[in-house]
Amino acid sequence: MTDATWLALTVVLTVVGAAVTWLVLKRRGSAPALRWAGITLLVPALYLTDALPLLVRIGSEIGTWATRLVLSPVVWSGVALGGVGVLLILAGGSLMARGRGLRAARPVDAVEGGSGGSARQVGAADPGRGARRPGGRGAPASPADRGSGRGSTGGSAGGSAGGDGGLDDDIEAILRKRGIT
Model-wide pTM > 0.85: no
CA distance 17 to 44: 11
Length of the chain as a residue count? 181
Q: What is the pLDDT of residues 1-25, one digit of tens each?
A: 788 998 999 999 999 999 999 999 9
In this prediction, residue 98 has a pLDDT band, given cuts at 50, 70 and 90, of confident
Q: What is the pLDDT of residues 23-74, one digit of tens each?
A: 999 998 889 899 999 999 999 999 999 898 898 899 999 999 888 888 888 8
In contact, 46 and 56? CB cutoff 8 Å = no
CA distance 6 to 1: 7
> Cβ–Cβ contacts within 10 Å for residue 154, how many?
25
